[in-house]
Structure 1
Amino acid sequence: MTNPDIVIIGSGIGGATIASGLAGSGASILMLERGEPLPATPHARDTRSIFVDGHYRPKEMWREAGGAAFNPGNYYYVGGNSKFYGAVLIRYRKEDFAAMEHFGGVSPAWPFTYDEFEPWYSKAEQLFRVRGALGEDPTEPFHSIPYAYKPVPDEAPIARARAELKNLGLHPASLPLGVDIDTWLKEGKTGWDAFPNTGQGKVDAQTGPLTAALTDQNIKLETGAYVEYLEASPDGTTISAIHYRQNGELKKVSP
């Protein structure tokens, strides 16, 4: 695909969700992802490999403003950082969209309100198959559509803690999660936060929106495609070409 209508760089939460939203539009869309699909290996459920050895962390080093080098917490795979996320998909509260005074200053209001944004939250919750329960959290804002799936059930210690908190007059609430708990536990008896999703246990950018997007034959995904630079139009208002390296070869695509 040398002259697609649209080029999306990255297949993480942002890129995959945009691609899913554009599916069925008739536009030809090329997605460029520098990583490859995350392989299923014993490392995926090995706590030492993940948290001590840094098996999945990139080998590159970045630099802070002062010049000190550090290893970034980025992951370069199809699905991006969401392959390792905790799958908590909570909505901002209505008040978060308004100007808010903090100790360090004022956080300005968003250019739109929660009510304007709410339908898109509902679409995202359906896309990521979010599990949750309305009515538990008194700070939960208005939902036009209820959660389609029941919350992840409490383990026994959490159930006891929930009951004790309720007895104190508090409101313990289930986190909205994009997790198929039964599938996750069948693949390995571990938690899921920071553990890579090599199967279908978590609904991440790949297993959710990207899978849906790629059912459209007009959307193509190229992996191992490292974007080196963007070429602007003479007036600087648009991107006229994307230059990327794949398998050692420098390529160019012009949307």
Structure 2
Amino acid sequence: MSETYDVIIIGTGAGGGTLARQLAPTGKRILLLERGGWLPREPQNWLAADVFVDNRYISPDTWYDQHGKAFQPQVHYYIGGATKLYGAALYRLRREDFGELRHHDGVSPAWPIAYEDLEPYYTKAERLYQVHGVHGEDPTEPPASGAYPFPPVSHEPRIQQLSDDLARAGYHPFHAPCGIRLNEANMPESRCVRCANCDGFPCPLHAKSDAEVFGVRPALQHPNVDLLTDAEAVRLRTNESGTAVTQVVVEHDGHEERYAADIVVVACGAANSAKLLLRSANDKHPNGLANGSDQVGRNYMFHDSQAVLALSREPNPTVFQKTLGVNDFYFGGPDFPYPMGNIQMVGKSQADMYRGEKPLETKLAPQWTLHDVARHAIDFWLSTEDLPNPDNRVTLDGGEAIRLSYQPSNPTAAKRLYHQLKSMLGHLGMHPDHLIHRFAYLKSDIPVAGVAHQAGTCRFGTDPATSVLDVDCRAHELDNLYVVDTSFFPSIGAVNPALTAMANAIRVADHLRERLDARVPTGAARG
């Protein structure tokens, strides 16, 4: 048995890293467990061939689909989790996303909390992660109790022209909320240089607002916080009555170690959090921990996302492209009364990306033609809400590997959003017949391999028969087990989920601080 802690947090991404930052000042003994290590700061961070062709930073994991076909998921195991390679687009869910919404292909369920319950924590998360933005441009934007901590990132000329053209056509373009460090005058080595290598790349300057930079590193400045890297939590053990977790079993440096804490927080990512709970089955929890409702692993969601490029009639020399969004079709369109989703810019495409995304189609293409396409490309990211489906689920293949069963749940809306954007191109200075799919985020032939924005496998709710967690994200069936990554989402909306995970982690931290002040002495038996 190794040391005993007040809190163990498993995972250091948007949920776990933020929670650690919030709890660190309490003085309680905290252990962070991270399956990976520090992502190296190296020249390859900014090389498209290394990132998109050679998959330098993608885990070598093997998962299986519902037919037993193996695939390599686009997951990253580093301190900071998925935020190390995300685009730092830090959106709030819309207020309506917290209520029941009817879609063309189904229903998005209501949350057990309202937008107003999470709103103060959204404001805190935006300040913590130094989000740049401005209120009042997006008509779907929910009310906010405070301004963004920094002004919006300005558009470069071609994107400003696109914004002006959208406005002239009657739409409501807005400055996308960006989590980057433009204003750190006292830390020039960490200041964003507005390069093209942000979205999907690691940032060697630490200028991206990720969970390592703003969560884990500040937490480690407190002497009561320990970090164990290259340490995979493989099982949770409980007391004899099955009412509390007593040990976290960890594979570290090729051998097994065990750690204990009064409170255990799981934040491994939606698929891996479900995997850990399912692998931890015992006599009191034969279907997996916290799984008396048979909901662990179910309702897996990830946005029905489409990365597409349009060809501008004029060259697009934009470097930092991810500054604009359009939500005019978030809740419907002129001839489609159902939600379609969000349109935003994605990182600027580069010729080397095409080699990785479409190796067969580009094998014989001269490099100059690919550069010419990239020179005129304007790149969009379309997100449509993925509706929860209990049959879209994580199970274990052979008791160990993840089996991910998934069928698209809202395809009609996704198709309508694509055609809506395509219909607008002629009014936006682009060739109207060219809207080309990019696969930088979905390179595999198996769609489920693109697992960014995953959520929903441990949904929270007020009814233990239909949910895994209560409204504080504590497992209904175990007194000291919490889940704070995007697993808790009952629905996913159509905007990037990272800020919601961060805000919720701050909310849960308030609850845990109160609990820690009233807890029994460290190591005392429970249940």
Q: TM-score, normalised by structure 2?
A: 0.47
Task: Report the Cα offset of residue 26 of structure 1.
Answer: 2.5
Residues in 2 aligned to 1:41 and 1:202: alpha-carbon distance in whole angstroms:
15
Within 5 A, what are the aligned runs for 1:125-164?
Answer: 125-164=126-165
Identity of aligned residues (%): 38
Q: Is the 8 A contact 1:38 1:198 kept in 2?
A: no
Report what 1:192 is aligned to. 198
Match of 1:177 in 2: 178
Superposition deviation, residue 55 in structure 1? 1.1
Pairs within 5 Å for 1:199-218: 199-218=205-224
Q: Look up the equivalent residue of 2:25 and give its one-letter code.
A: G
The residue matched to 1:231 in structure 2 has which SS?
A: strand
1:104-142 deviation line (CA, Å, top 9, x unaligned): 222221101111110011111111111101111111111
Q: Secondary structure at the match of 1:165?
A: helix
Higher deviation after alignment, 45-54 or 242-251: 242-251
Unpaired runs of 5+ residues, structure 2, are 184-190, 262-527
Alpha carbons 2:35, 2:230 under 8 Å: kept: yes
CA distance in 2 between counterparts of 1:230 and 1:58 reads: 23
Q: Find the residue that maps to 1:184 and give its secondary structure.
A: coil
CA distance in structure 2 between the partners assigned to 1:47 and 1:131 by the alignment: 26
Whether the aligned pair in 1 keeps the contact of 2:9 and 2:16 (CA below 8 Å) is yes
Contact 2:62 2:72 in 1 (8 A): yes
SS in 2 for 1:110: coil
What is the distance in 2 between the residues matched to 1:216 and 1:112? 32
Partner of residue 252, structure 1: 258
Q: Distance in 1 between matches of 2:250 and 2:136?
A: 49
Cα deviation, 1:211-254, whole Å, max 9, x if unaligned, reads: 22222221111111121211122111211101112222311111
Say which SS state the counterpart of residue 254 (structure 1) adopts.
strand
Given that 2:46 and 2:197 are in contact with CA atoms closer than 8 Å, whether structure 1 keeps it comes out as: no
Structure 1 residue identity aligned to 2:207: G
Q: CA deviation at 1:59?
A: 1.4
Given that 1:93 and 1:140 are in contact with CA atoms closer than 8 Å, whether structure 2 keeps it comes out as yes
Root mean square deviation of aligned Cα: 1.5
Tell me the SS of whatever aligns to 2:8.
strand
Matches within 5 A, 1:27-42: 27-42=28-43
Counterpart-to-counterpart distance in 1, 2:111 and 2:231: 34
Distance in 1 of aligned mates of 2:29 and 2:7: 6
Measure, in 1, the Cα distance between the counterparts of 2:220 and 2:143.
32
Report 1:48-67 matches (<5 A).
Answer: 48-67=49-68
> Deviations 1:156-193 (Å, cap 9, x if unpaired)?
1011111222223321101101012583327xx32311
Counterpart of 1:106 in 2: which secondary structure?
Answer: strand
2:412 alignment counterpart:
none
Match of 1:250, SS? Answer: strand
Aligned-pair distance for 1:23?
Answer: 2.0
Secondary structure of the 2:193 match is helix
Secondary structure class of the residue paired with 2:178: coil
SS in 1 for 2:25: coil
Q: Distance in 2 between matches of 1:217 and 1:126?
A: 24
Name the structure, 1 or 2, with higher relative contact order (CA <8 Å, separation 6+).
1
Q: How many residues were matched structurally?
A: 253
Q: Check 1:168–1:105 CA distance in 2 against 1; reply closer, same or farther (3 A cut).
A: closer
Name the residue aligned to 1:168.
169
Q: Is the 8 A contact 2:46 2:203 kept in 1?
A: no
Q: SS state of the match for residue 59, structure 1?
A: coil
1:103 aligns with 2:111: no
Which of residues 223, 230, 249 is equivalent to 2:236?
Answer: 230
